Amino acid sequence: MIQFYHDTRMKEFYLDWAATAPMSASALDTYCKAATQEYGNPSSIHQKGKEAASTLSEIRRRFAKLLQVKSQHIYFTSGGTESNALVCNHFLTKRRKIHIIMSGIEHPSIYEYHSAFLQQGHEITIVPSPLGVIDTKALSSALRKETALILLMTVNNVLGTRQPLKEIRKIIDDYSYRKGSTIHLHADSVQAFGKIASNEYMPYVDSASFSAHKLQGPKGTGILYTRKVISVASPGGGQELGLRPGTEDLPAIASFYDAAAHYCDNLTINERKTTILKDHLIELIKDVPYFKILETAPDRSPYILCISIPDLPSEVSTRVLNDHGIYVSTGSACSSKNRKKMQRVLIQSGYDQKTSDSLIRLSFGPTMTLSDIESIARLMIEVIGNVLRQMGKLRK
């Protein structure tokens, strides 16, 4: 039997929900029920296969309702990274040379395609994103006849800033109408689903990616929404209309829906509660001289808060807090082991090197309480203060 490590010696405070969220009891229960009752392969023609296929179709329909789109535009994938890859690979293999626009603050699963696009002979424009929000004037100026793809995050995973997709859609449509061009807008919406009403971003995109484990669902499952047909190099067994081959993980997909539906049903309540938690933490630490709350654009998610500790490298802060049961991050979990990727988002947003080197990200979840926040604030002030005093940065 596999032994799982769990340290019960101290109270733990998990502040890395933007990286991954613990599975909810309901989502886990749904997973177990589907795994034991809906074990047929949806591609099989016997009764258990037909039952699984019917369940899969019903979940697809329900996801479409959550996102306010058509069910035939929903494809189940292994997560946000694969969903992003499917769109990027479709355009990467274009025989004609195209022009791509992206921001410099994209998730690595998007931004790392930068060099691949260039190697294939395509052109790329990186538009600036001051304080974490794309410069729409720069985007408008970057549009050209060859522009075929624009890649933007709905909510930035490091800073929590929201992109003005409605305004961007209008810029694209106006240009397309004048020039007779077709431009595909893809939005990495992993940090938006269940936290922002879908009608605030879905009407303005041609495709979007989603991931279950950000919403207390299982890891390893996600969704690609795409209005326009895209192609893949290896259709495999033909599952998911040939877009994503491989037997569908029905238990994970059912669990994903359970988690997503719960978040969507409680979107306003969760947002209000999380805002209170975040504001309370800011109030408790804002006057502490060694903490600097990062200023970002005003339109941002309440689920993410960035704090700079100017005299302490972020890796040190993260490790010290970890030793006292406070789990924070230095940015995207996909890039936390490579500081340059984290710094790229901050530098592209206009922050200086010192801020980039000392930033930690705190991200919140709906199970947290005000009591947790007060304990976190007290521990952070005490622990970081002690380290800085030992370093001679504060008076003892």
Over the stretch 43-75, which tens digit does the pLDDT of each residue have?
889 999 899 999 999 999 999 999 999 999 999
**Strand 304-308 with 359-363, pairing:** antiparallel
Residue 167 dihedral angles phi and psi, to the nearest 5°: -65, -40
Write down the pLDDT at residue 336.
47
Q: What is the pLDDT of residues 169-202, one digit of tens each?
A: 999 999 999 999 999 999 999 999 999 999 999 9
DSSP letter assigned to residue 117? H
Is there a catalytic annotation at residue 334?
yes
CA angle 113, 117, 121 (to 5 degrees): 165
Q: What is the pLDDT of residues 309-361, one digit of tens each?
A: 998 999 999 999 999 999 999 855 554 455 566 789 999 999 999 999 999 99
Write down the pLDDT at residue 193.
98
d(CA 28, CA 75): 22
Whether the CB-CB separation of 38 and 254 falls below 8 Å is answered with yes
d(CA 49, CA 221): 20
User: What's the pTM value of the predicted model, to 2 decimals?
Assistant: 0.93
Neighbours of 181 (CB within 10 A): 15
**What kind of architecture, by CATH, is found in domain 13-18+266-390?**
Alpha-Beta Complex (3.90)
- Structure-block tokens of residue 145: 């006849």
Reduced to 3 states (helix: H, G, I; strand: E, B; else coil), residue 119 is: helix
Neighbours of 214 (CB within 10 A): 29
Whether the CB-CB separation of 173 and 40 falls below 8 Å is answered with no
Write down the pLDDT at residue 391.
87
pLDDT beyond 90 at 95:
no
pLDDT beyond 50 at 272:
yes
Write down the pLDDT at residue 43.
86
Please choose, from the candidates 199, 174, 156, the residue with its C-alpha nearest in 3D space to the C-alpha of residue 299: 156
Range with the largest mean pLDDT of 1-15, 30-44, 233-247:
30-44
CATH topology assigned to domain 25-264: Aspartate Aminotransferase; domain 2 (3.40.640)
Write down the pLDDT at residue 394.
79
The whole-number average pLDDT for the span 84-94 is: 93
Write down the pLDDT at residue 341.
66
Q: CA quadruple 216, 207, 264, 32: dihedral positive or negative?
A: negative
DSSP letter assigned to residue 329? B
Q: What is the mean pLDDT of the chain?
A: 92
- Structure-block tokens of residue 47: 């009764």
The whole-number average pLDDT for the span 302-309 is: 96
Percent of the chain with pLDDT over 90: 81
pLDDT beyond 90 at 270:
yes
Write down the pLDDT at residue 258.
98
Q: What is the pLDDT of residues 364-393, one digit of tens each?
A: 999 999 999 999 999 999 999 999 999 887
d(CA 107, CA 344): 10
Length of the chain measured in residues? 396
d(CA 32, CA 9): 30
DSSP string, 231-254: --S--TT-TGGGTS-S---HHHHH
What residue spans define the domains of the chain? 13-18+266-390, 25-264
Active-site residue identified among 32, 88, 264, 334: 334
Task: Tell me the pLDDT band of 261, cut-offs 50, 70 and 90.
Answer: very high
d(CA 53, CA 42): 4
Task: Tell me the pLDDT band of 235, cut-offs 50, 70 and 90.
Answer: low
- Structure-block tokens of residue 386: 């002690």
Write down the pLDDT at residue 3.
63
Write down the pLDDT at residue 9.
65
Q: How far apart are the first and last CA of the chain?
A: 50
d(CA 334, CA 37): 34
Q: Match 């495709």 to its residue by tokens.
A: 207
Q: Can you list the positions of beta strands (E) in the chain?
A: 13-14, 74-77, 99-103, 123-127, 147-153, 184-188, 207-211, 222-226, 292-293, 304-308, 326-327, 359-363
